[in-house]
Amino acid sequence: MAPPSLPQPLRRPGRPAREEQPVPQAGIFGLPAIPASVAVARGHVRELLAAWNTDAETCDNAVLVASELVTNAIMHTASGRIVCRLRTDGARVRIEVEDEHRGQTLPAQCRPEPDDQGGRGLLLVGALSGDWGVKNSAYGPGHIVWAELSPDGGDPASTGLPATTNTTRPVPHLAEGPSSHGPTAHA
């Protein structure tokens, strides 16, 4: 005799089956604004994204993007601490790095000479992310530099992100107001 089976939910005619929606995930960590914190940030980002079952390519790209954003916050601001935030809604991963002190200029991509040792961080961020930008912190005199990556391999159309084919964009998108996964106001 076969064991009894559990009752299955009934599907109503004319109604599609309900798809599983990924549960949004978020993580936050603070670090001292010292060079050794870059490696610590990479480890935290990798650990969080692995716990959220993020695919390996997106995880690697997010680790590199976070590393560049943390490095810039440490090297180009007078901050004592930085705060990193990660969020995913299953359609994209958002990385934010907040510093404590507004510099004299906004972060912007530059065109380094071939022999220059630096100046390529935001070029990498632009190349690896679907979108990125900067906004003022709501909690003090700092900036938040953010980037969004698509876990599906970078098809922005599938996530509603704008297609970014120009990776040499000279100025990031500026956004004011609370951060969200929704549309941002671009200046």
Please enumerate in sequence order all residues whose Cβ is within 8 A of that of 70, keeping only pairs 6 or more positions apart, or say none.
Answer: 31, 37, 38, 41, 82, 84, 97
Structure tokens at 107: 């972060």
pLDDT tens-place string over residues 60-105 = 999 999 999 999 889 888 889 999 999 999 889 999 999 987 555 5
C-alpha to C-alpha distance for 77 and 111, rounded to whole angstroms = 20
In this structure, are residues 186 and 129 in contact, taking their beta carbons and an 8 Å threshold?
no
CA distance 79 to 102: 9
24, β-bridge pairs: none
> Six-digit token pair at 41?
């940030």
- Chain position carrying tokens 């970014």: 164
DSSP per-residue string spanning the chain: -PPPPPPPPPPPTT-PPPPPPPPPEEEEEEEESSTTHHHHHHHHHHHHHHHTT--HHHHHHHHHHHHHHHHHHHHHS--SEEEEEEEE-SS-EEEEEE-SS--SS--------TT-SS--HHHHHHHHSSEEEEEE-SSSS-EEEEEEE-TTTS-HHHHTPPP---TT-SSPEE--S---SS-----
Residue with the larger pLDDT of the pair 31 and 181: 31
How much is the pLDDT for 3?
A: 64
When comparing pLDDT for 89 and 116, which is higher? 89
pLDDT of residue 152: 62
pLDDT digits (tens, 9 = 90+) for 5-63: 666 666 666 655 556 677 899 999 999 999 999 999 999 999 999 999 999 999 999 99
Name the pLDDT band for 181 (thresholds 50, 70, 90). very low
- Mean pLDDT in residue range 116-144: 78
pLDDT of residue 146: 93
pLDDT digits over 78-88, tens only?
A: 889 999 999 99
Structural fold of domain 25-174? Heat Shock Protein 90 (3.30.565)
Q: Residues 139-157: what's their mean pLDDT?
A: 75
pLDDT at 159: 37
Q: List the chain domain ranges.
A: 25-174
Main-chain dihedrals φ then ψ at residue 74, nearest 5 degrees: -75, -45
Write down the pTM of the prediction. Answer: 0.66
Do residues 58 and 64 touch, judged by C-beta distance below 8 A?
Answer: no
